[in-house]
Structure 1
């Protein structure tokens, strides 16, 4: 019998972490600056997350932009992996590419070795690879636990056909987690594609934030436990119908 697909929620704040756990997230992707695609969280947030009742995996991404290493980038990532391990987190989330739009196998191998017993997720740098099937094979060879993908499309619902093909290619050798623009309305078609997990923010605008737009600070988004519960119910209903 197929296992139940899990729901991973990405957060970038201490209150977001608490709200995600309260909503029933199965796993947390811990970040800073989700508006920039997610950067490495602070050591303080990592330590808080290690006390949570669900596994928390830290994004290891020292700078915004693409996923090609710049000067000092490897040293920063290795240091952040050490911090995540010292904090007691369950895993890390990484992705490094070469300029020719392939995964940087040498860099990833070094980072994975540094992770030790922590689980490793390959993030959506994967979606920028010219050959995603070759990238999936490399991730399996390197010992990555799961890959996060939208099928190379702007959102997972748009890339569902490619995601299904990737799941078929993976054949249980690695977890495939769909992410990007996922809500309760699109969960069924993605679960039907064969994914092992869904990844979402389930966020809404923070209605309690003071208006800071006068100094160029936009309204932040905050995790919605209700949206998590809605998505979890949709997932449970889909599984029960099978």
Structure 2
């Protein structure tokens, strides 16, 4: 029976520990999940690498879309080097050019720097003009997986495209849906698409947090909730793609 793996995105060491406690299979390590996830600090990378759960690092130097340029390249290369030095299990990255397609030149340099670490192509694939063409490029580049919502705000709404991507990939790269996945909808998405791993935040409002407009994200701060991780693991138990 295929076991559906759960990756949990976190932006603190406590979050990584909560994901591990809840039974997640892998952690995507970020900072600033309120901004969609940015590069974690070197200190967070080092601390997370000592946990008993594989952690991969987001390599995204700023918020907004993914039109990074040659000026961003040294920063991203240094962040990849920090992930490798910390002993993390992989990196998560993506770049698009002025034409909004994948910037293959910058991607090639980033992937060369990351080797031998496996790499995930992040949700840049959801904002390029042709996600299927980008999937073909990800396969050619040797990415281990692509993270996608099916070019929709939430993965359940993009199930048709995710299913088509799984068929197109044919096992050459893992297609991992993420965004908007919860215990109540994740099993149906797996069955509808044929994916073998999923990505979720599993977060709840921080207990007792005080909002202050200059320091807190809109809507308040959220933290990884081990109970939600356990609920996702339970929802995936026994599900067959």
Deviations 1:187-241 (A, max 9, x none): 12221111121100000000132x14265524310111111111111111324xx
Is residue 89 of structure 2 the alignment partner of residue 90 of structure 1?
yes
Match of 2:199 in 1: 199
* Distance change in 2, residues 1:216/1:29 (3 Å): closer
Give distance in 2, aligned partners of 1:20 and 1:151.
25
**Structure number with higher relative contact order (C-alpha < 8 Å, ≥ 6 residues apart):** 2
SS at match of 2:185: helix
Deviates more, 1:54-63 or 1:229-238: 229-238
Q: Is the 8 A contact 1:160 1:189 kept in 2?
A: no
**Would you say how many aligned residue pairs link Structure 1 and Structure 2?**
238
Give distance in 2, aligned partners of 1:113 and 1:190.
34
Give distance in 2, aligned partners of 1:216 and 1:27.
29
Q: Is the 8 A contact 2:91 2:119 kept in 1?
A: yes
Q: Is the 8 A contact 1:39 1:61 kept in 2?
A: yes
Give distance in 2, aligned partners of 1:214 and 1:164.
41
Give distance in 2, aligned partners of 1:225 and 1:216.
25
The alignment's TM-score, normalised by the length of structure 2, stands at 0.95
Give distance in 2, aligned partners of 1:107 and 1:98.
9
Match of 2:164 in 1: 165
Give distance in 2, aligned partners of 1:217 and 1:129.
31
Give distance in 1, aligned partners of 2:133 and 2:212.
45
Q: Which runs of 4+ in 1 moved over 2 A?
A: 212-219
Match of 1:139 in 2: 138
Q: Is the 8 A contact 1:182 1:199 kept in 2?
A: yes
SS at match of 2:135: helix
Q: How far apart are 1:106 and its partner, in Å?
A: 1.1
Q: How is 1:1-242 mapped onto 2 (pairs within 5 angstroms)?
A: 3-70=2-69, 72-192=71-191, 193-209=193-209, 211-213=210-212, 215=214, 217-218=216-217, 219-239=220-240
Q: Is the 8 A contact 2:11 2:32 kept in 1?
A: yes
Give distance in 2, aligned partners of 1:100 and 1:5.
36
Q: How far apart are 1:115 and its partner, in Å?
A: 0.6
* Distance change in 2, residues 1:115/1:71 (3 Å): closer
Q: How far apart are 1:150 and its partner, in Å?
A: 0.5
Give distance in 2, aligned partners of 1:208 and 1:119.
38
In structure 1, the gaps of 5 or more residues are: none
RMSD of aligned residue pairs (Cα, Å): 1.3
Give distance in 2, aligned partners of 1:10 and 1:116.
22
In structure 2, the gaps of 5 or more residues are: none
SS at match of 2:102: coil
The alignment's TM-score, normalised by the length of structure 1, stands at 0.95
